[in-house]
Amino acid sequence: MISPEAWLKESIEESGVAAYPVLAAADAVMPYAVYERTGTAREDAIDVLIGAPVGTFFVHLIGESYADLKDLAEQVRGEVNNFNGSSNGSTISSVRLVDEADAAADIPDGSSSPVYQIDQTYAIAWEE
């Protein structure tokens, strides 16, 4: 079975951008996405795991144009949010967008152009 990270990567890339785990490649071309799992919750009852694990995943969308990035965020949300079923070798029980926020624009060293970022947080439940 493919991990939820692999499903998330492939789902983000359906939006037409490269997706990188944890850190983008040095030669990444904007716009792109970086995703990371920040935690996993598992219910237990008297030393027995019950239910599907639920992971919290951050998706950071990075780009040179705020307007284009807003469009990209909508596309990614459309691909990822509210999905359930089997796809790309993973069985995903549910996906829920928990939060979405604009991050402060950054001007990298040696550049005169700002880089924009939109952060999305998803709760993803899957079958192990």
The mean pLDDT of the chain is: 89
Asked if 97 and 120 count as a contact pair (C-beta separation under 8 A), the reply is: yes
C-alpha separations of 49 from 21, 42, 43, 46 in Å: 27, 7, 6, 8
Query: Confidence band (pLDDT; 50, 70, 90) for 86?
Result: confident
Q: Give 13-65 pLDDT, tens digit per residue.
A: 999 999 999 999 989 999 999 999 999 988 765 555 566 789 999 999 999 99
Cα gap 115→106, rounded to integer Å: 5
> What is the reported pTM?
0.87
Average pLDDT for residues 105-118, to the nearest whole number?
A: 83
> What pLDDT score does 65 carry?
92
Q: What structural domains does the chain harbor?
A: 4-126 (3.30.2000.10)
